[in-house]
Chains A and B, each alone.
Chain A
Amino acid sequence: MKVFELITVLALAAMPAAAELPIADIPPGHTKTFLVIHPHHDDHSWDYGQAGLITKLVDAGWTGYYIRVSNDEKDGPHGYPHDDMVNLFEAREATENLGITDVISLNWRNDYMDAMPINEIRAQLILLIRKFRPGLVTSYLPWGHYDRNPDHRKVATAVGEAVWLASFANVHPEHRKLGLRPYRVPNKFYSQRFDYGKGYEPNVIVELSESNVRRKARSYWVHRNVRLSGSTGRRMRALLKEQGLEIPELEGLSDIEAHARMQEWSMYDAARKVGRENGVEYGEMFSRLGEWHPWPGLKDYLESNAVDQ
């Protein structure tokens, strides 16, 4: 080994490892209902989606609802009306695979959300929060930086405002006419591309089992309209062949089945990477805002002094 290589190795060995994030438990769940609020049909299951958390909650007896804010008309090869319908259908199949009870689609126009008054989107979310009274809401991070997708930014802000305001009786007082009382969401698990700059500051990981990852991996490619293509499977196999390589697991599969398998592996890799960095096998990262987040000066006191009735 050359001297500079030795120095490099020693220097790397001396560097402190990145601190592992604490593992978040599933919250006690006095109301075992959760909402997943996302702009798009497929935001729950990708590298930075929450499908692992969703399956953990379902396994723990929670009931989940997926609120799709946009109509997904831009996503897919078929054009406006066809893609709307296919993407909603596949969202139902993918979230059902995760154990979600229902998909509620708000149908705002995909990728045109900047022109929409945030108060209108927020109003719908406040109504649904008061209806379902979720013990947990998961969505994109309202304070995230550098997210290029305008729907992600808009919906994250609307979610941030909705969970804040749903607890005030003077916000949409008309809801009382329906018997819907104000409600404060105690647990928020926000996610975003954590490689997108300083704004994303995850503070917990959720440890996943192989079963959690398996369901997430399937829900990823179930969005066939945007995630599967026979030509990609064919091209990947051709590339491997050119280099004299083959993947035995892909033998006997059609091109589209091969692509689905590779998509699943990418989900395993993403979960494994988060797990490896945090001392577990598989994981997802989140910014978790807990029960007493709005009162930083009271948080310690409340946690220490609240007692069972």
Chain B
Amino acid sequence: MNFLKQRMTTTLLVASLLLVFGSSPAAAADKKVVLVITADASDYILAAGGTIAKMLDAGAEGYLVRVTNDDKDSWDLTPEETARRTREESEQAAKILGFKEVESLGYRAGELGGVSPTELRDRILFYIRLYKPAVLFIPNPYAEYVEVLDRFYVGQAAEDARRAASLSNYQPPFAVVGLETHVTPELYYYAQPFDPRRREAESTATFVPQPKALDIASTFDKKLRAAQALKTINHSTAMRIKDRLESTDRRLPLLDEINEESVNRLVEINIHKLAEIAAKDTEHSQAEEFHYAGVEYQIPSKYLQ
């Protein structure tokens, strides 16, 4: 009898959660909303651009929150000019992927270590309650060897924000102005493939996000064009590689002359290789890899059995 009662309770709990979140990625709102949090203009495109474009192609509404102003990543440009150009270019890139809006929070790049984590969390929390996303993409703060530590700070704050957004005792003033609590059912942690253990699950599939590779063949071209739109950052990358090679008496024939064509080709090589790395040992030819926490992430494994 107790067993039957427990089974019924479990079934009801799972059913009610699925009712709230939906059984498909679409879900919590009339139109599925995808909210992407990124530390900088390039990271989310390189790590997750194909997957995001696919969701937006399928009818989801996309919003991007770019936390820093990318004012450091340029060659021979002032921070102000770098920030101005990169803002324009990041909005252009987001448009290519299909985003509806881009919010740039304007924190200076490389300075997030000095920003209060609570402040950062609450800035992101605001957008979660505003847009009420069904899907949230955040930088993976647990990825090792990601040298751009802004991504770690943003990932940590975003993860915290997702939880806090669902609890009414966080930021009570937000409720006063109509920003109600929100549970985001699907969460994708993204990172470029720096971490040699990125494909290992942290633990068993209980509350812990699991590795997941997704096919991006259909949106690869969009991802490539979006990456190429970041002209200032790409030029900076090309110049820094050339500078390093020249300082060590080497050269890369592709970069003998740095112009739009050669830089775009460099980006293309990068994007192709990233897709190949993520697709390795999967059924896909071009992929992106994540740590993923879906609806079941909300349900303790003992109830799922």
The answer to whether A and B belong to the same complex is yes
Q: How far is B252's CA from A305's CA once the two chains are assembled, in angstroms? A: 6
Chain A contacts of B271 at CB under 8 A? 297
Max chain A Cβ within 10 angstroms of own Cβ: one of B75, B82, B147, B245: B147
A109 to B75, CA, bound (A): 37
Residues of B in contact (CB 8 Å), total 48
Q: A184-B244, A296-B274, A298-B270 are in contact. Are A308 and B197 (CB under 8 A)?
A: no
With A169-B76, A170-B74, A199-B144: A308-B249 Cβ-Cβ less than 8 Å: yes
Known: A143-B144, A168-B110, A201-B197. A291 touches B244 (CB 8 A): yes
Count of A-B residue pairs with CB < 8 Å: 111
B84-141 contacts to A (CB < 8 Å): 110-111, 113-114
Tell whether, in the assembled complex, residue A296 and residue B144 are in contact, meaning their CB atoms are under 8 Å apart: no
In the complex, A143→B148 CA distance in Å? 12
- B79 contact set on A, CB distance < 8 A: 170, 173
Number of interface residues of A (CB under 8 A): 43
Q: How far is the CA of A268 from the CA of B75 in the complex (A)?
A: 48
Q: Are B113 and A122 in contact (CB under 8 A)?
A: yes
B75 touches A169 (CB 8 A): yes
The answer to the question of B3 belonging to the interface, with a C-beta cut-off of 8 Å to chain A, is no
Task: Give Cα A165 to B248, complex, Å.
Answer: 20
> A30 CA to B249 CA in the complex, in Å?
9
A184/B114 in contact, CB under 8 A? no
Question: How far is A305 from B110 in the complex, measured between Cα atoms in Å?
Answer: 31
A interface, by DSSP: helix, strand, loop or mixed? loop
With A203-B196, A291-B244 already in contact, the answer to whether A161 and B249 are too (CB < 8 A) is no
Query: In chain B, what residue has the closest Cβ to A299?
Result: B273
8 pairs of residues in contact across A and B, judged by CB atoms under 8 Å: A119-B114, A157-B149, A160-B149, A291-B244, A293-B147, A302-B252, A306-B251, A306-B252
Do A186 and B244 contact each other (CB < 8 Å), given the known contacts A118-B114, A306-B251?
Answer: yes
**Cβ of B175 to closest chain A Cβ, rounded Å:** 33
Task: State how many angstroms separate the Cβ of A212 from the closest Cβ of chain B.
Answer: 26
List of A residues within 8 angstroms of B274 by Cβ: 296-297
Ranked 3 nearest A-B pairs via Cβ:
A297-B270, A297-B273, A297-B274
